[in-house]
Amino acid sequence: MENENTAEEPVVPYNQPLDFHQVWRMFQETDKKFQETDRQLKESERILIEMFQETNQQFKETDKKILKLDQLFTSQWGKLVESLVEGDLIKLLKKKGIGVERTLRRAKGNHKGQNFEYDIVAINGSEIVIVEVKTTLRPNDVDDFTEKLWKAKTYMREYHDKIVYGAMAFITADGSSDRMAEKQGLFVIRATGNSSSIINHKDFKPKTF
């Protein structure tokens, strides 16, 4: 019976030395494969970097748009709350014995290079009430506003001879910031629905600044 393996290439014994040219060809082919693999990896890396940079840029643009919308919403909402508070302010203060006659919104200017702004100023002959309006009142808002009140007569020289009171108006209060404002001697005004009210305790005595 004829041997089936007679047509196959003879197997080179493992101990037979390889031809130099054959080894060199094997090395070149292997090197080409490594180079091609390296090229493909670099190309994949380049594509991934470009995709990451593009995605990162899209996230940044989205963040900017969200920030602008948030600032716009906060600004418009703040103006709405200011209007609501200002509309009731004269009536509310008269009930507390402070007969203010008119209000001024967004009193702002510059004093020796320092910009300042007060949301609402209620005025009568000898007294003024300066109101800071916040959609959400936080403890640091109370500290910041108190500091601004002490500077009011310096910033607004036309009121240097007036008795100055302070008030903080808000829709919601974070923690006990509303009680903190009262302890600082400020009127506390909560805006609710289509009106606002002073919520200080009955025996509250406002501080003069």
Summarize pLDDT for 116-141 with one digit per residue, the tens: 999 999 999 899 999 999 999 999 99
| Longest pairwise C-alpha distance within the chain | 131
Residue 33 has pLDDT above 90, yes or no: no
H or E, element range at 198: strand 195-198
- Residue 168 corresponds to which amino acid? M
Closest by CA to 109, choosing from 118, 100, 96, is: 118
* Secondary structure tally for the chain: helices H, strands E: 4, 6
Q: How many CB atoms lie within 10 A of CB 100?
A: 20
Domains of the chain: 86-198 (3.40.1350.10)
Q: Which of 206, 114, 200 has its CA nearest to residue 163? A: 206
Three-state DSSP class for residue 169: strand
Task: Give this prediction's pTM.
Answer: 0.64
Instruction: List pLDDT tens digits, range 148-205.
Output: 999 999 999 999 999 999 999 999 999 899 999 999 999 999 998 778 999 999 999 9
CB environment 155-180: b (16+ within 10 A), e (fewer): bbeebeebebbbbbbbbebeeebbeb
Say if residues 197 and 178 touch (Cβ distance below 8 Å). Answer: no
Q: Which residue in the block uniquely carries the two structure tokens 């200002």?
A: 86
Give the mean pLDDT of 45-50. Answer: 82
Tell me if 127 sits within 8 A of 162, measured CB to CB: yes
Question: Which one-letter DSSP state was computed for residue 201?
Answer: -
Start-to-end C-alpha separation, the chain: 121
Rg (CA), the chain: 38
